[in-house]
Amino acid sequence: MPNLLHISASPRGPRSESLAIAATFLDELRAAHPEVTVEHWDLWDGALPEFGPPAAGAKMAVFAGADPDGEEAAAWRAARHTFERFDSADHYLFTVPMWNASVPYILKQLIDVISQPGMLFSFDPEAGYSGLLENKRAAVIYTGAVYGPDRGPGFGSDFQQPFFEDWLRWAGVDDIRSISFRPDLATADPEPGRRAAHARATEVARGFLSPAAPTLLAG
pLDDT on residue 1? 86
Q: CA-to-CA distance for 104 and 141, rounded, in angstroms?
A: 13
CATH architecture of 3-217: 3-Layer(aba) Sandwich (3.40)
Helix (H) or strand (E) holding 95: strand 91-97
pTM of the model: 0.91
- Cα 157 from Cα 100, distance rounded (Å): 9
pLDDT per 10-residue tile (average), the chain, 219 residues: 96 95 98 96 96 95 92 96 98 96 96 96 93 97 84 80 97 97 75 94 95 49
CA 96 to chain CA centroid, Å, is: 7
**Which H or E run includes 42?**
strand 37-42
Contacts of 194 (CB under 8 A, 6+ apart): 17, 181, 183
Q: Which residues contact 37 (CB under 8 A, 6 or more apart)?
A: 1, 2, 3, 4
Domain map of the chain by residue range? 3-217
- pLDDT value of position 190: 87
pLDDT for 218 equals: 43
Q: Output the pLDDT for position 182.
A: 86
Integer angstrom CA distances of residue 202 from 25, 92, 123: 5, 16, 38
